[in-house]
Structure 1
C-alpha cells in the first residue's frame, strides 16, 4: 500500500496540472502557443515511434524563443519501446539539453529487452536528428552492465531529474551503475517488472533517493516457477543513504534477502514487504532506522520472533499485519507512537489490558476476522485516542453493558458479522449509534503532514467517508430513553448487516426490531413474571430428579447392557476357572482364534487367511466358519478361545464400534491377567488415536508388542514375515499355564 506518484496516472499518462501546458500534438495552433505560454510537459504516451514526434516538439519550442519554455515533464508510456531511446541530446531555444531540464519522466508499459553478457548494442541516437548512429569508442554503455533497455541512459547526466517511472517495462536485471548521473533523483519506480537480479553498484550515485519502488516484480524461470530476488551484494541498499521509503510488496523474497533490510539508516521510515513470502524477521532488524510505517501483511509466521520490532517503539506509527498468524498483541507492547494497527484475519482470541494500556496514541485498531469473544471488563477504553475500532466477523455472541461502556469514546465502530444473541443491550447499542449519527459530527483521521508514502490513513478515511447512514423507524420520543450515547457510529452498517438470534423464537431478526432495555422494563407485568417464575422453578426441579436419570439410562443403554454382559461373563469365567486346568501336552483344536468385525471380513479372507493357513500351516478359528450351531454367541466365544492355542485381534476403528468385538477383546485381556498366558497377537489395520482407544485396548497396546498393516505394498512382505514368525513361535510353544476355561 504505497502511494503512486501524483504526476502520472496508473498507466503512465501525465495528469493535468494547472501550471503545466501539455502538448500531445506537434501541430500547435498559434492562438494556443503564444510566447506567453509556458510549455512544461510532453505527453506522448501511447504513441508509436515517439522519437520523431518528440524531435518536432522540441523544434517547436525553439521557434517560440521564450527563455521560460522548458520541458519538465515527459511521458513515453506504452510506446512499444524496446529500450530507452537516445533523446536526451535535444536542445531547447536556450541551448539546454533535454537532460538538463527534465524533472519527471515516465516509460511505463514498454517492453524493454534484456541482454546476455555476450551481446553488444551498437546503435545510439544522434541528438541533431531522428536517426541512429553507432556509438563512439569508449562509450559508457559497457559500464552499465550491458543492458539494452538502459542504453539510452549511457553517459547522460540528469541535473534536475527528480522522479523516474520505469514500471511494467519487463525489466529483468538492474546492471552496474545503471542510474549513475541521476544525483537529484528522489523517487524511482521499478514496480510490475520481472527484476530478479540487482548488480552490486546498481544504485551507486543515488544519494538523494528517498523512495524506491520494487513492488510486484514477478520473475519466473524456464519451468514457470517464481524466481527470488538476488543481488551481488548483501547490503545492496546501503548506498542509498537518503532512503526514506522502500516498497518490496508482492515481490518474491527469501530469508537470504533479509540482508537488504539490515543497515538501513536513520532517515529510513517506510517499508512494505507484504505478500513477499518471508516467514520470519531477524530480531532487532530495524533498530538502526527511524521506521514509522511497516506493512508485513500476508506473510504467515513472520512475527515468530517477538523482538523483531524492538528498537522502533518510539518511532513506529502505522503497522499493517493482516493475515500473519498472530495469536496475541504482545508484540506491540510499549509502542507509544503507534496510530494505526491493522491486525485483521489473524488468530487473536484475547486482548491483554496491560498491552493496550501502552498504546496511548492509537487511532485505528482493526481486529476484523479474528476469534475475539465478548468481554465484560475494561479493554479498549484504555486507549484515549482510539477513533476507529473494527471487530467484524469475530466470536462475539452477546452485547453487554460493560462492552457498551468500554466503546463509548470510540468514534467509529464495526461489529457486523458476529453471531449475536438478541438482547436489549444490542438494541441500545444500535440506538446509541443512530443518535450519534443524528446529533454528533466526527471527522476523519488526522493525517501526518510529513512525507508518508503509505496509504494507511487514506484507506481508513475512505471507509469512514463511504459509510452508509443508519435507518431506524424512530419518532421523536424513541431516543428519550438513551441518556448517554457516547460518540460511536457504525461504520459497517447496511440494512441487513446487523442481525441477531432470537433464542425464544429460534429465528434471526434485525437488531433494529429488538426491544430496548428501558422499554422492556416499563412493559413488565411483575405479578405475571412472579407466577411464571414459580412454574419455571418447578420445572427446573423436575428435570434433574426425573428426566435426567431417564435420559441417562436411554443414552447409555448400550453401555449398560455391555457392562451387564461383561459382569455376567466375568462371573462365569471365575466359576469356570476354579476347577479346570490344562496340563502339559493338552491338544488344542485351533492354533489361533481370530477376532474381527464384519467390515474387515474382506481383509481377513483375502489377505490374512491365505497366508496363515497356506503358508504358515496354522489353523485359524473364525466365528463365521467354526462356531457351533445351537450354542449362544457367548458360549461359542469362550469355548473357541479356550480351544485355541493363541488369540489374534484385528483392530480397526470399525472394530471398536462392535460390542461383540469389544467383548472378545475384554476376554482376551482376562486371559492375560487370570491365566498369565502371553499368546495374544494385536494386528492394527490403521492408526488408532488415543482419544478413540477404550481403556482395554490402550492397556493391551502399552503392554503388548503389536504389528501394523502397512499402506505401502513394498513393506508388506516384512509384515507377513514378522506375523509368520510370531504364529509359528506360538504354535510350537508348550502349554505352561491354565487355560481360559
Structure 2
C-alpha cells in the first residue's frame, strides 16, 4: 500500500507541474498577442522605439511614462492630437517622415520636452506659436526640409530662445543669418546653418546671440560673397567656426579670407575650418588679421596646395598649436615655411606628395609633439637628420611612404623624447625594403611603440638586437614582412613589452627546424615576462615546442590561427597562467582533448577553434561534452564542421552526439531511461507482489485449477466419488471429527465425505488434492468461523467450489456457521459476505435440543439431486 501511495503522489506532482507549465505558456501567448497589436518596441517603461515601422501615424497606446519616443524613418504626415497625454516626454525624434505642418496644439502636453528632432520632413512654414508649449527645450533639429523652410524664420524661435542650446537648420534654404534683435539666444552652444543660401555675413546678423559662447558655428556649404569684419563680435567665443566649402567663388579672394581672419580675431575663435576651398597657394596676407587672435587650430585640408614656401604663414600664426594639411598636393616645404609657427604642437601632412624631408625643415618647431607624414612619397630619411630640432617630439608617423634603406640611427637624431614611431605599410618597389642594424634605434631610448608592419624587413639575426636599447618598449609590430628567421635573443631585452605582432611571416622553421637532429627549436619568446598579447598567426607553424611560452605568465591573448598545427601538447601551454583568449582557428587539428586545454581552463574565456578538420568520432567525446558544459565562449561555433568520418563530413560539429556511438561502452541516454523505467516497473511490481502476495498466488491457483479442470473434463464423463467435501479451519478440527463426520457417515443412508486428513492422496501437491477433491464431490460444506475467515487455504477451497457455478452452472456450496459472525466482520471478506446475503445457510445451534433439526436440514440439502445409486455424472 505504501508503494501505491508513493506512485499516486508522483503522478499527482507530475500533473500539477504540467498544469503549471501550461499556465505559463498561456500567459506567454497572451502577452505576445497583446504585444503584436502594438507596432513598436517597448524597450522599458520610459523608452519606446517605433523606427522603420512603415507607420502613417504616431500609434496610440504609447505608455504615459514614456520619456524617449523614436518614430523616425516612417511615413507619418500628421501629428494632430497623437501626442496628447504623453506629459513625460523628454526626447521626441520625428526625423525622416512626411510631416508638412506644425501647430501649437500638437505639442500642448509636452512641457517637459528637451530634445525635438524634425529633420528630413516637408515642413515649409512654422507658426510663431508652434513651440509655445515648450518650457525646457534644449535641442531643435529642423534640418533638411524637403519643401524648404523659408517663411516664419526666426519668429518661431521666440518661445524657446532662452532655453535652446542646440539649433540645427542645415539645408532649410534660409537666405540670411540675421536672427534679428528680438531673440535672446545666449544659451546656444551649437548653431548649424550649413548648406543654405546665405550669401553674406553682416555686422548685425548674430546680435541675438550676444554674450553667448558657442562650441560650434557651422556655416559650411553656403555661397558667401561678403564677410563683415565685425560679424562675429557679439560672441564671447566660438570653439569651432566651420567655413568648409562656404564661399560662392572658389578659391576665395585673398581679401575675403583677410576679412574672415579679422572677424575671427575679434571673436576668440579656437578652431577655424577652411577645408575644400580649392586653395592652391598660401600667403601670409590671408592670415594678417590673426596676429592678436586666440586661434589655436587651423584646418586647411582637402585643398589643392602644392607647396609651402617662406611666405605661406608669416608671423601671424605664432600662437597656432594645431595645423592640418591633409589631402593636398604638397611636394615641397621650404626651410623657413614653418618658421612662424613657433608654438605648433601638432602638424598633420598626411596624403600629400612629399618626396623628401630636408634637414632643418622643422628646426623652428621645437614645441612639436606630433608629426604626421603618412601616405606621402618619401623614399628615404636623410642621415643628416631630417627631424633636427624636434627635441620634444613624441609621435612620428611615416606609414605608407616609399622608404627603402638601412636605418643607421642617425635618421632619428634629436628625437630623444620620441615614444611612438610608425614606419609601417611602405609603398615599396620591387627588391626594396627596410634593413635594421644594431644601432638603428640608438637615439630612441624612450620609445614605447614601434610599428614596422609590412616594410619587407630582412631577417633580424644580428647580436645585439636592434631592439636591445628599447627598454621602455610596450608595443612592437613586425607583421607582414615575410621574414623567416631571427636570433632567439632578438626580444630578450624587451622585458616591458606588452604587445607583439609577428603574424604573416614564415617562422615555421624556428619551431620546426629542417634538421631536428642538429638544431633545436628556437625559444625566441623567452624573457618577455610582461607580454599581454601575442599574434603568431599565418606563419606555417607545425608544432608548438614545450617551453615556448614558459616566460609568458601574464599573457592574456594568444593568436595561433591559420598555421599547420595538428596538435598542441598540454605541456606547451603550461606557462600561460593568465590566458583568457586563444585563437586556433584554421589549423589541422583533428581532436581537441582534455590534456591540451587543461593548463589554461581556469582562466580561459574565449576560444576560437573552428575551421579545423575535426574528427567526429569517439576520440572527440571530451571536447563535444566540453562545448555543452563550459562557460568559455566558443567563437563562431556554428561554423565548426566535421571532416571525418565520411558520413559526418561537412556536417556541423554541434550535430555530433558521442552518446549515439556508445563511446567507451557507455549506454546512450535513451537506454538509461529504459533501464530506469524498467527498474521502477519492477520495483512497483515487487511492492504489489509483497503486499498482495496471497491474492496473486490465489489468482495463479485459480487459473491453474480452471485450466486443469477444463482439461480433465474435456471429452469424458466424471462420476462423483463423494457427497461432500469438507472445507474447514484446523481450529475447528474437533467439531468436524467428533460431530459432523460421525453424524453424516452413519445412519440408514450414510453420506460419503471427503476429509483432507483421511482422503487426500499422499505425495500429491495440496493444490491438486483440493481441486480433485472438490471436483469429485457433489457439494462442499464450508464450516464458517473466525478462524476459517482468516485461513488462506479455506478461502481457496471455497473459491474453487464457487468457480463451479461459472463452469458447470452448479451451486455446490453449503455454508455452516459454527459461531456468530457479525456483518461488520464479514464485510472484509467480500465473497463470503455476498454468499451469505444471497444463500440460505445453516447455523450450529448452541441449544442441544435444536441440533436434531440442524442435522436433518443439512441431510436434506445433501440429498437434493442425489441419485439412488449415489452417483452423478457430469459431462
Provide the TM-score with structure 1 as the length reference: 0.47
- Specify which structure has the bigger relative contact order, considering alpha-carbon pairs within 8 angstroms and separated by 6 or more residues: 1
